[in-house]
Amino acid sequence: MKILPVKGTRDFYPEEMALHNWIVDGWKKASIRNGFEEYDGPIFEYLQMYQVKSGDEIVEQLFSFKDRGERDLAIRPEITPTLARMVNQKINALPKPIKWFSLPRLCRAERPQKGRLREFFQWNIDIIGEDSVLADAEVIFTTVDYLREVGLTPKDIKVKISSRKLLATVLKKIGVPDEKLNPLYTLLDKKVKLPAEVFSTTLTEQVGGEMAGRIIAFMGSQTITSIENIVKAEAGDQLEVAIKELEDCACRLNQMGISDYCVFDPGIVRGLAYYTGIVFEVHDIQGDLRAICGGGRYDNLLRDFGGPAVSATGMGMGDCVLEILLREKGLLDKKITSRTLDYYVVPIAGELLDEAVKLTAGLRTKGFKSAFSYKAAGLSKQLKNASEQNAKFCVIIGDEFKAGNVVVKDMASGQQKTVPLEDFLGNPEKF
Assign residue 304 the CATH number of its domain: 3.30.930.10
At 233, the pLDDT band (50, 70, 90 cuts) reads: low
β strands within 94-205, DSSP E: 98-102, 105-107, 119-128, 157-163
At 301, the pLDDT band (50, 70, 90 cuts) reads: confident
Do 321 and 327 contact (CB within 8 A), yes or no?
no
**Is 204 within a domain?**
yes
Residues 120 and 178 in one domain: yes
In the predicted model, is pLDDT for residue 44 greater than 90? yes
Domain residue limits at 374: 341-430
Least confident interval from 40-49, 53-62, 241-250, 365-374: 53-62
Q: pTM of this prediction?
A: 0.89
Choose between 212 and 122: higher pLDDT.
122
Do 54 and 272 contact (CB within 8 A), yes or no?
yes
β strands within 91-135, DSSP E: 98-102, 105-107, 119-128
**Is 397 within a domain?**
yes
Summarised one tens digit per residue, pLDDT across range 376-431 is 788 889 999 999 999 999 999 988 888 889 999 999 999 999 999 998 988 888 77
Residues 6 or more apart from 46 whose CB is under 8 A from it? 71, 72, 73, 74
Summarised one tens digit per residue, pLDDT across range 153-190 is 999 999 999 998 888 888 888 888 888 877 888 888 88
Alpha-carbon span 281 to 247, nearest angstrom: 17
Q: Strands 341-347 and 370-372: what pairing?
A: parallel
- Which CATH number goes with the domain that contains 412? 3.40.50.800
Residues 298 and 222 in one domain: yes
Alpha-carbon span 45 to 81, nearest angstrom: 9
Among 295, 328, 361, which residue terminates a domain? 328
pLDDT of residue 55: 66
In the predicted model, is pLDDT for residue 374 greater than 90? no
**Is 214 within a domain?**
yes
pLDDT of residue 297: 95
Alpha-carbon span 50 to 59, nearest angstrom: 8
Residues 220 and 86 in one domain: yes
**Is 4 within a domain?**
no
Long-range pairs of 355-359 with CB within 8 A, sequence gap ≥ 24: 355/397, 355/401, 356/397, 359/395, 359/397, 359/406, 359/421, 359/425
Residues 96 and 133 in one domain: yes
**Is 381 within a domain?**
yes
Residues 233 and 351 in one domain: no
